[in-house]
Amino acid sequence: MLDWFRSSIQAKVMMVVLLATTLVLAFVLGVTGIFSRSFIVLDAESDALRVASMVGGRIANELSSIAMATRNLAYSLETGNWDRKSIDNLLIAVVQRNRDIFGSTVSFAPFEFDPTIKAYAPYFYKGRNGLVSVQLADSYDYFERDWFRKPFEEKSPVWSAPYFDEGGGETLMITYSCPFFGQGAGGEPDTVRGVITADVSLDRLTEMVSEIKLEKTGYAFLLSNKGVLMVWPQKELIMRETIFSLAEGGKDPHLKTIAFEIMNQEKGFHNAGESLNGKDSFLAFASLPTFGWRLGVVIPKDELFAQTYLLERILFIIGFAGIVLLLTSSLIVARSVTAPLKRMVSVTSKIGEGNFDVDFVEKNRLDEVGQLSRAFESMVNSLKKYMKDLTQATARKERIESELRIAADIQKSMLRTSFPAFPDRDDFDIYAMMRPAKEVGGDFFDFFLLDSEHLCISVGDVSGKGTPAALFMAVTKYLIEASVGVETPIDKTLEKVNALLFKNNDSCMFVTVFLGILNLKTGELIYANAGHNSPLIWTENKEVQLLEAVGGPILGIFDPADFRTGTTTLNPQGHLLVYTDGVTEAFNSEGREFSEEKLMEIVRLIGRQDAKSITEMVLEQIDQFRNDVEQSDDITIMVLNYTPRT
């Protein structure tokens, strides 16, 4: 045998190949096992934290949306006249149209709803068989409940801790409570009249958290800011145990350390051992900053490394087969390999030159050369498909961008861009502009002569931004233009427009509108305000002040709605400045708002100017204030100068 080994090149080649491939296989299996486990742990940490942050962000976004809607409803309660029926209709609409809201109440402060009634708090919630209505004043003293007392005393919205609503919805929930105010003498919010709430059932949070799917038996849980179990696999422990009580009752002291880190760190990834579910597992957690809650994800290690074990077995099988194949192929004449490889080099050179229409003549071979040839052919086909898909995707992207540009052009064409708008009139000067935050926006302005003596002006702001807001804006603008008239009171005009917008408004979009008609002979301005910012007006002594508020609900949320009108007289050489909240709520890099006070101060400094100059100067000041901060909302400004003919 020894002589054969010494005299036979075949034996030497086979032995060298056998030893080398065995060592390589052992090294590859060892390194693969070590690094694959490390990479899987890193990927699991990244994925788990990403999923936890994503779901936490989703929960925060949905709860923030509920909070925003509740604040909007509180504002509408401040600006309208409400009776029992309209309050009930409002609560029914809130609960029915919002899948995430379990129940809602408008709870009045003592004797605020009716001087003869101390407590009045209608509550509507989703029961098993439909919408259920109860009067909380009949169930308990709601004035002492945290969900009423805290916002009432602090005069600001609050989220409650989780609790069981005994006497109300009879379920575990959290509540967002927002105070609404009465109007003071100057039209500003005065005392707290009551609190409007939006309840979110913990079942809804459980539904969102349970959507997290990690491996086969991995699960997620949610803790309150005190460590109370809000979402947990064992439902009997929810709201009855904390992560700390579980740690105290468990056999693994490591759980105490993990519980402390969960409640005191923003996020983390730990080897939890068997402390959470009796299986060796990893734990990832992240915080929900707005609420102080903690979202955790538990992943069993055996399920996490299952693919690694399978990969190791597959690599071993492939390696063993490779050894056999190498031993066999080492005996084949090198020429049988190099010749077809040279032909493949020629083919791949053509591919490198961009010619994908080539024929792989070696693809029918059964050896590695044939495998390589088929792999190259598959690669070329994939590359050709990729290039085709890339071309189509680029075309689709260009088409979408083109459609957005067309939509922006259409929106611009709906708003006046040519000034002066009335070159043959010298008794007034008007200028307006709208700068959208996205390609298209939800703000609008409009002005037109009803006859030779009456000028109609309107400025509106639709909830949200982008294409949906632009469509809602277009409908509102043309409904106003079609409904307004000299002989039609403008409050009736807004009632009609509101009724038309309310129909089929399943998305609960709304719009604020300032609408006015100026008598060009007398300077008398009759106006109505549907939840819009109060315009600025120059007084007789050349001071700048807010136009007297008349109040009125926003358009599109509920019907019927009542609106009031106000009347003022523009002084000769007087100005009126109407704007949307994108002006006063423009933010700088420090997070401060431009504010109504700063707008009034700037307008005072500008003084008497033509309408275009005032508009451009105000816009310049807003841009300087924002500096490099991206515009967060649509900005609309309209300036009207009244110069009556003598």
Query: Which amino acid, 593?
Result: E
Task: For residue 191, give every residue at least 6 positions away whose Cβ sits within 8 Å of its Cβ, in sequence order, or none.
Answer: 109, 181, 182
The predicted pLDDT at position 196 comes to: 95
- Name the nearest CA neighbour of 472 among 500, 491, 495: 500
Ranking 48-52, 162-166, 223-227 by mean pLDDT, the lowest is: 48-52
What are 612's two structure tokens? 């275009």
CB atoms inside a 10 Å sphere around CB 327: 15
- What mean pLDDT is predicted for residues 512-524? 94
Tokens of 432: 């307006």
Is it the case that residue 487 has pLDDT exceeding 90? no
pLDDT at 526: 96
Residues 504-513, mean pLDDT to the nearest whole number: 86
CB atoms closer than 10 angstroms to residue 34? 10
Structure tokens at 193: 């009249």
State residue 343 phi and psi, 5-degree precision: -65, -35
Give residue 206's identity as a one-letter amino acid code. Answer: T
pLDDT for 362 equals 64
- Judged against a pLDDT cut of 90, whether residue 421 lies above it is answered with no
pLDDT of residue 1: 59
Cis ω for the linkage preceding 157 (within 30 of 0): no
More confident residue, 417 or 344: 417
Under the banding of pLDDT at 50, 70 and 90, the label for residue 194 is very high
Band the pLDDT of 415: cuts 50, 70, 90: confident
| Predicted pLDDT at 259 | 79
Average pLDDT on 615-628 reads: 92
Contact present, 157 and 177 (Cβ < 8 Å) = yes
pLDDT, tens digit (0-9, with 9 covering 90-100), for 551-590 = 899 999 888 889 999 999 998 888 899 999 999 999 998 8
**481's tokens:** 């233009």
Helices 335-352, 368-414: inter-axial angle, 10-degree rounding: 10
DSSP letter at 553 equals P
Q: In the structure, what pLDDT confidence band is assigned to residue 252 with cuts at 50, 70 and 90? A: low
pLDDT grade, residue 355 (50/70/90)?
low
Residue position matching structure tokens 């693969």: 32
Q: What is the pLDDT of residue 532?
A: 93
Instruction: Give CA–CA dist 459/466, Å, rounded.
Output: 18
Whole-prediction pTM value?
Answer: 0.42
Q: Is the pLDDT of residue 148 over 60?
A: yes
Among candidates 464, 417, 459, which has minimal Cα distance to 437? 464
Please say whether the beta carbons of 226 and 163 come within 8 A. no
Mean pLDDT in the chain? 80
Strand order in the sheet with 635-642: 428-435, 635-642, 574-579, 536-538, 544-546
Dist. CA 310–CA 302, nearest whole Å: 12
Residue range 285-321, pLDDT digits in tens = 888 777 778 888 888 877 767 666 676 678 778 877 8
pLDDT at res. 554: 93
* Average confidence (pLDDT) over 482-511: 89
- pLDDT score recorded for residue 82: 85
**pLDDT tens sequence across 450-465:** 998 999 999 999 987 7
Which pLDDT value is given to residue 531?
92
Per-residue pLDDT at 4 exceeds 60 = no
**Across residues 64-81, what is the average pLDDT?**
86
Maximum CA extent, the chain: 128
Predicted confidence (pLDDT) per residue in 375-391, tens digit: 766 776 776 676 666 66
Query: Rounded to an integer, what distance in angstroms lies between the CA atom of residue 69 and that of residue 463?
Result: 11
Percent of the chain with pLDDT over 90: 28
Write down the pLDDT at residue 363.
Answer: 63
For residues 576 and 574, give the distance between their C-alpha atoms in angstroms, rounded to a whole number: 7
pLDDT at 220: 80
Q: Where residue 106 falls among pLDDT bands split at 50, 70, 90?
A: very high
Token pair listed for 455: 């000028």
For the ranges 10-14, 237-241, 306-310, 632-636, which has the lowest average pLDDT? 10-14
Task: Please check whether residue 52 is in contact with residue 68, taking contact to mean a CB–CB distance below 8 angstroms.
Answer: no
Cis status, amide bond into 420, omega within 30 of 0? yes
- Of 60-74, 158-172, 184-198, 507-521, which has the strongest mean pLDDT? 507-521
DSSP label of 263: H
Q: Given this model, what pLDDT does residue 516 score?
A: 95
Among 276-285, 406-415, 567-576, the range of highest mean pLDDT: 567-576
Least confident of 134-143, 275-284, 344-353: 344-353
Query: Is residue 7's pLDDT more than 60?
Result: no
What domains appear along the chain, each with residue ranges and CATH number? 11-331 (3.30.450.20), 339-414 (1.10.8.500), 421-642 (3.60.40.10)
DSSP-based helix, strand, coil % in the chain, nearest 5: 45, 25, 30
How does residue 438 score in pLDDT terms, banded at 50, 70 and 90? confident
pLDDT (0 to 100) of residue 512: 93
Lowest mean pLDDT among 6-10, 43-47, 64-68, 113-117: 6-10
DSSP state, residue 162? P
Which range is least confidently modeled, 51-60, 234-243, 619-628?
51-60
d(CA 63, CA 387): 43
At 366-375, the pLDDT tens digits run 666 667 677 7
